[in-house]
Structure 1
């Protein structure tokens, strides 16, 4: 397993990761950001990666509508996904991460069918470019977040992977450890983000290792299912920012390195 961090797509991020002893960066080119804005940065990012030895472990796009009200594919978002898969190939990134929105005007079956049609296109496109596709288990405009959807969609698409973040399962009342044992063989990328629940409600996303997630068991299951992908630290708290946030990132790096059995 490799340890990395989500960061802004700029050359300085590679130096930041290298200074922390991390192996890769993750870039999130989310809804509202044209894929073309990211693509123009590729020469700069590629040069910084080669200079520092820090790779790119994942590129993802969260939040957009990919399926229209009538169940058809939103062509603009399909092309954005294609552009980001091309960017993965250019940067040597192994995984593209996405989701699929739920259309209320359609039945669950129709939503699943539409999502499969979209994801099949990405799988075909990525296969020709050496890039694998994973769906995120975040609820940001996506319903492919639990075993109900995974059984239908991933069950039908054996090449499709999962980007897993235990905080999303915890906040939704799901058993993240059971999901890992049942579906960890399909994980292609993992987010490392703390989560704290008080009185049944989300309180904060502190640094991993300063939260309620059982990171020891979490890692034991990843070892047990033979996971070999990236562990991407996600600073996500409105409390842990500035100098405190930097201390939190360093704490998580040290904590995860111990769990990775590094000296």
Structure 2
């Protein structure tokens, strides 16, 4: 397993990751950000990666509508996904991550069928470019976040992977350890983000290792299912900012390296 971090898509991020001793960066080109802007920066990012020896472990797009109200695929977002998959190929990034929105006007079956059609196109496009496709278990405009959806969609598409983050399962009241044991063989990318729940409500997303997640068992399951992909640190707290945030990132890097048996 490799340890990396989510960061802004700019050359300085590679130096930041190298200074932390990390192997890769993850870039999130989310809804509202034109994929073309990121594509234009790819040559600069590629040069920074070559200079620092830091790779790109994942590129993702969260929050977008991919399915229209009539169940058809939204062409603009399909083309944005293709553009980001092309960027993955150019940067040597192995995984592209995205979701699929739930259309209330359609049945669950019709939603699943539309999502399968969308991901089939991405899988075909990615396969030709050496890039694998994963859904995210974040609830941000995607319903493919639990076993019900995975059985239908991933069950039908054996090449489709999962980007997993235990915090999303915890906040939704799901059993993240069971999900990992049952579906970890389909994981292509993993987020490392702390989560604290008090009286049934989300309190904060502190650095991993300073939260309630059972990271020891989490890692034991990843080892048990043979996971060999990226572990991407996700700073995501309103409390841990600035100098405190930097200290939290360094704490998590040290903490995860111990779980990775690196000292």
Shorter chain as normaliser: what TM range?
over 0.9
CA distance in 1 between counterparts of 2:147 and 2:134 reads 14
Match of 1:57 in 2: 57
Match of 1:261 in 2: 261
Secondary structure at 2:162 match in 1: strand
1:237 aligns with 2:241: no
Match of 1:36 in 2: 36
Deviation at 1:76, TM superposition (A): 0.1
Match of 1:15 in 2: 15
1:72 aligns with 2:72: yes
Give the TM-score taking structure 2 as reference length: 1.00
Deviation at 1:229, TM superposition (A): 0.1
CA distance in 1 between counterparts of 2:144 and 2:259 reads 29
CA distance in 2 between counterparts of 1:175 and 1:119 reads 26
Match of 2:193 in 1: 193
Structure 1: 4+ residue segments shifted above 3 A: none
CA distance in 1 between counterparts of 2:24 and 2:118 reads 28
Deviation at 1:143, TM superposition (A): 0.0
Q: How does 1:82-231 map to 2 (within 5 A)?
A: 82-231=82-231
Aligned residues: 263
Deviation at 1:32, TM superposition (A): 0.3
Deviation at 1:117, TM superposition (A): 0.2
CA offsets 1:63-88 (integer angstroms, 9 cap, x no match): 01000000000000000000000000
CA distance in 2 between counterparts of 1:183 and 1:64 reads 25
Deviation at 1:251, TM superposition (A): 0.2
Deviation at 1:159, TM superposition (A): 0.1
Q: Which residues of structure 2 form unaligned runs of 5+?
A: none
Q: Which residues of structure 1 form unaligned runs of 5+?
A: none
CA distance in 1 between counterparts of 2:197 and 2:131 reads 36
CA distance in 2 between counterparts of 1:85 and 1:43 reads 15
Give the TM-score taking structure 1 as reference length: 1.00
